[in-house]
Amino acid sequence: METVRVHTLIIGSGAAGLSAAIHLHRSGITDLLIATEALQGGTSINTGSDKQTYYKLSLCGADADSVRDMAETYFAGGSMHGDLALAEAANSVRAFMNLTELGLPFPADEYGQFVGYKTDHDPRQRATSIGPYTSREMCRAMIREVQRLGIPVRENVFVRELLVQYDPPAPNSVELPVTGEVYGTEFYVMENGSEAGILRVLAENVIFAVGGPGGLYQTSVYPTVHTGAIGVALQAGAVAQNLPESQFGLASIGFRWNVSGTYMQCIPRFVSTASDGSSDPREFLEEYAHHPGELLPLVFLKGYQWPFDSRKTQLHDGIVRNFGSSMIDIWVYVETVLRGRRVWLDFRKDPVGLSRENLGPESWNYLEKSGASALETPIARLEKMNPAAIEMYADHGIDIRSEMLEIAVCAQHNNGGLAGDVNWESVNLRRLFPIGEVNGSHGVYRPGGSALNSGQVGALRAAQTVAKRSRNGSDQDRTAKDRPAKAAKTAVLGENFLPDPNWQVKRRELQQRMTASGGFLRKKDLVERALSEVRRERSLSLPPSCMESQRNSWLLLTQEIYLDAIRFQLDSKVGSRGSAITLTESAGVSASSATSCLDLNGKQTEIVPENEDFRNFVQETWLAPNGTIHHRWVPRRPIPEPDSWFENVWRKNREV
């Protein structure tokens, strides 16, 4: 076993992890190591949308904005702690300006004002973008800076376990999370596609930037190269929060990409075919319309109401122009899952019933102002409004000028994750700093692009905390202390590198189960059945014998914990909220009210309404040493009102 000692270890090379490394180096912490499976393999560098959004404080125009207002926007999303909301707002400008100094070409006018636009769940115009590849270009700029600074990067390693020295259990602490201190990590080492050994890295601090649970779902917009590693921290006992709060939305599946923004605003045809992909084509939205083209306003609205939203699934008298856009996700689900068909976007010709009258003033005025209203096809309108959106698919071998684009409702982002404090340090495992998507700072709703801001702010806050402790001398010689040879909690992991020919089959089954039971339509009996299957599989599993079977082991554990968190939420009667709808056990209920029932392929199913009282609580989840999963609701902390008198804050800063 190879052993390395560093001051601070960064696990992951996405936008958050790279940013943390840069901030640490600038703060004088140069004994660093970035450990990653592949520098080009993270979610940040492989994802985007038609106009990928970065969210920040408004820096343009006459409309007033403030740190407090931005924090209130986050807090209004529900189930988010107020101190985290304030920290993400207060540090957004510094995090954003760091990106501009790294060369990111965010649009600014001739006076230097960084212009913005409104995104979903955004009352201001805080959103900005550099096009489809905002997060990719962030990563590329930071990789260049990491290389310029000479920060070591170790590729071809996969995180195997966290090394934790646990505190003695407190009296009567059976129902409480463990506490302890992380002092390093073990990795699988890969060479030429095969496992070559174990790498142990001992570190004063571990920045955990492993991304979201990308490997959990079958229909997913996470890049295939990213599976996530939150299960490593969950196994170690790290507390998580808001795990059921994920985002789902329409995405292409041949090449995984969100079909938001102008992909919808150019008004393409929604076509379903038989499973062969060509026979029996039909514009299936017309099945739900009273007259041709009636539902086209929903297609347009889907552009900036892209994530599935349980509040936007109500139709009155067929259609309300500013409401109900998430019905499109449900109708796509009916076609793909319940009817076994395939769904495509067709940009080559207009949908049935396209007219100024059917689109309505909001949609038509947008097209008119964009110079696209007189154009005769969706592809022509898309080329006028956003030609880069066409070229993006061309770069990946898909010509949407000549062929249809296959789509599905896909898992896109987890608002929940590991629980951290205002410095992005784990609330129960000291020296572990979960940043980026693996940190569960957000609640039920969040503004578009806020995840990128959160990752940059978390990187900054974690680096500041590590640097401050280093200056104070509070972490000297920590790695030299006597430590247990291995954390007892993870001693069951296999060390024999033997091939597992079935790992791909097992992963596919795992992902299919999560999409069916833990997706955007949730039903208690399906969740409980899936949980029983997971627990049976885990009880029969042998110790992992290779890296990919180890990855499956982590995914299986992660799936059990996520599904149990969803079960707890269903048992708590939280109801339908965010990007998920809760359906009742009963079938065949009367569709007396369009606001309480869904027609799922002719079967009327009742929707459980949201109990908004739960927006004032955060759901915490953790794995106990005996393997049991615990949950609790904790009141969300309010937005702080700190003493901001200059002389007082100045004095505190001088005393540090």
Strand partners, 208: 11, 434
More confident of the two residues 597 and 378 = 378
Pick from 30-34, 54-58, 188-192: least confident: 188-192
Q: How confident is the model at residue 484 (pLDDT cuts 50, 70, 90)?
A: low
State residue 545's pLDDT score: 65
Reply yes or no on whether the pLDDT at 75 is more than 60: yes
Global pTM value: 0.94
State residue 490's pLDDT score: 40
More confident of the two residues 436 and 653 = 436
From the number of C-beta atoms within 10 Å of its C-beta (0-12, 13-18, 19+), residue 592 rates as exposed
Q: At what angle do helices 15-26 and 450-472 cross, to 10 degrees?
A: 30
What would the mean pLDDT of 509-519 be, rounded to a whole number?
96
Residue 207 identity (one-letter amino acid):
I
**SS3 letters for 554-596?**
HHHHHHHHHHHHHHHHHHCCCCCECCEEEECCCCCCCCCCCCC
DSSP for 152-205 reads -EE-SEEEEEEEEEEPPPPTT-TTS---EEEEEEEEEEEETTEEEEEEEEEEEE
Of residues 531, 454, 541, 527, the one with CA closest to residue 492: 541
Which helix (H) or strand (E) segment holds residue 235: the answer is helix 230-235
State residue 204's pLDDT score: 98
Residue 529: count of CB within 10 angstroms of its CB: 14
Residue 415 CA to residue 451 CA, distance in Å, equals 8
Q: Which residue has the tokens 């997913």?
A: 220
Which helix (H) or strand (E) segment holds residue 5: the answer is strand 2-11
Q: How confident is the model at residue 539 (pLDDT cuts 50, 70, 90)?
A: confident
- Residues 529, 496 contacting (CB under 8 angstroms): no
What would the mean pLDDT of 449-476 be, rounded to a whole number?
92
Q: How confident is the model at residue 322 (pLDDT cuts 50, 70, 90)?
A: low
- Residues 85, 454 contacting (CB under 8 angstroms): no
Structure tokens at 339: 């009817």
Structure tokens at 276: 């062969």
Cα 241–Cα 245–Cα 248 angle in degrees, nearest 5:
150
State residue 594's pLDDT score: 42
Q: What pLDDT, in 10s, does the model give residues 403-437?
A: 999 999 999 999 999 999 999 999 999 999 999 99
What is 503-613's CATH topology?
Methane Monooxygenase Hydroxylase; Chain G, domain 1 (1.20.58)
**How many Cα atoms occupy the beta-carbon half-sphere of 402 within 13 Å?**
4
Backbone angles phi, psi at 55, to 5 degrees: -105, 135
Residue 93 CA to residue 88 CA, distance in Å, equals 10
- Residues 176, 162 contacting (CB under 8 angstroms): no
Residue 498 CA to residue 368 CA, distance in Å, equals 62
Residue 203 CA to residue 548 CA, distance in Å, equals 26
Reply yes or no on whether the pLDDT at 478 is more than 80: no
Residue 379 CA to residue 631 CA, distance in Å, equals 49
Domain spans, the chain? 2-245+415-490, 255-411, 503-613
2-245+415-490 sits in which CATH class? Answer: alpha beta
Q: What pLDDT, in 10s, does the model give residues 225-238?
A: 899 999 999 999 99
What would the mean pLDDT of 138-161 be, rounded to a whole number?
97
Residue 129: count of CB within 10 angstroms of its CB: 22
State residue 481's pLDDT score: 53
DSSP for 326-346 reads THHHHHHHIIIIIS--EEEEE
Residue 299 CA to residue 400 CA, distance in Å, equals 18
- Residues 534, 564 contacting (CB under 8 angstroms): no
DSSP for 458-494 reads HHHHHHHHHHHHHHHTTTTTSTTS---SS-GGGTTS-
Q: How confident is the model at residue 121 (pLDDT cuts 50, 70, 90)?
A: confident
Query: What is the β-pairing status of strands 127-128 and 153-154?
Result: unpaired
What would the mean pLDDT of 244-266 be, rounded to a whole number?
95
What average pLDDT is seen over the chain?
91
Reply yes or no on whether the pLDDT at 300 is more than 70: yes
State residue 499's pLDDT score: 56
